[in-house]
């Protein structure tokens, strides 16, 4: 329990919200706004970030009673954020309402350069980074929501199978198998681009 001068703990705020003080949830919103936005920005398109982050906090509020405090509020909220992003892609995958990104010849040329260049030429410039981002988005758009999410968590964020499984609420073997398949698909997609 905190004294009056320090900030109340997450558990304390949660207790207050559950006790009927809805406004206390604003402290959680202010405390974790940046953390949630950081997660959501990585997983959904830029224009969908605000709406998805909004959804994350609403979901968190609605399931606040299920928070047991085992692994900390931040981890609990992170799992909600990742699952909200996964649900976003599931919904999008079903309706196909977002246009799929496309590539130009420039992207193919850039990829060929990266793959064929034997020297340690730097690909640090801004244009190169932009090309890499667009290429990645193009490839991720062609994966299923499951493959996409696992690939982002394990391959691109470098999380362990256990961490990804905890965030998604899946089993560890499922994450590992899915991750292997998704990596293979990504490789196949990019290889197909070079071979065209």
Partner 1 sequence: MKWLKRDHTRLKKLLIRAYHEKEKPDVDELWQISVMRHIRSLGPVRSERGYVGLFEQSVWRLAPVTGLLILILIALLLTLDFMPDYEMAKIFIDDPVEFTVVQWFGV
Interface ranges with partner 1 (CB under 8 A):
17-18, 20, 22-23, 25-26, 29-30, 33-34, 37-38, 41-42, 46, 49-50, 53-54, 57-58, 61-62, 64-65, 111-112, 114-116, 123, 128-129, 132-133, 135-136, 152, 155-158, 187, 190-191, 194-195
Nearer Cβ to partner 1 (93/123): 123
Neighbours of 1 (CB within 10 A): 6
Q: Is the Cβ of residue 6 or residue 121 nearer to partner 1 in the bound state?
A: 121
Nearer to partner 1, 6 or 190 (CB): 190
Taking a C-beta distance cutoff of 8 angstroms, is the pair 52, 39 a contact? no
Contacts of residues 90-98 at CB distance under 8 Å and 24 or more positions apart, as own/partner, are 90/145, 92/145, 93/144, 93/145, 98/45
Which residue's CB is nearer to partner 1, number 3 or number 102?
102
Rounded to whole angstroms, the maximal C-alpha distance in the chain is: 67
Q: Which token pair is 151?
A: 């690939």
> Taking a C-beta distance cutoff of 8 angstroms, is the pair 107, 135 a contact?
yes
CB of 5 to partner 1, least distance (A): 25
Whole-number minimum distance, CB 190 to partner 1, in Å?
7
In angstroms, give the least distance from the CB of 175 to partner 1: 18
Total count of residues recorded for the chain: 196
């Amino acid at each position: 329990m905190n004294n009056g001068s320090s900030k109340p703990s997450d558990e304390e705020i949660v207790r207050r919200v559950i006790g009927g003080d809805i406004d206390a949830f604003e402290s959680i919103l202010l405390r974790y706004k940046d953390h949630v936005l950081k997660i959501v920005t990585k997983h959904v398109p830029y224009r969908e970030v605000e709406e998805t982050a909004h959804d994350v906090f609403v979901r968190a509020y609605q399931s606040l009673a299920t928070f047991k405090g085992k692994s900390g509020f931040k981890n609990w909220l992170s799992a909600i954020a990742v699952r909200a992003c996964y649900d976003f892609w599931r919904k999008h995958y079903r309706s196909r309402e977002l246009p799929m990104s496309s590539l130009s010849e420039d992207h193919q040329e850039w990829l060929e350069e990266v793959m064929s260049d034997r020297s340690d030429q730097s690909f640090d410039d801004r244009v190169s980074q932009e090309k890499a981002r667009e290429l990645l988005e193009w490839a991720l758009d062609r994966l299923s929501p499951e493959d996409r999410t696992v690939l982002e968590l394990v391959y691109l964020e470098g999380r362990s199978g256990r961490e990804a499984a905890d965030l998604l609420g899946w089993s560890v073997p499922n994450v590992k198998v899915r991750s292997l398949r998704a990596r293979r698909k990504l490789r196949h997609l990019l290889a197909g681009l070079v071979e065209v």
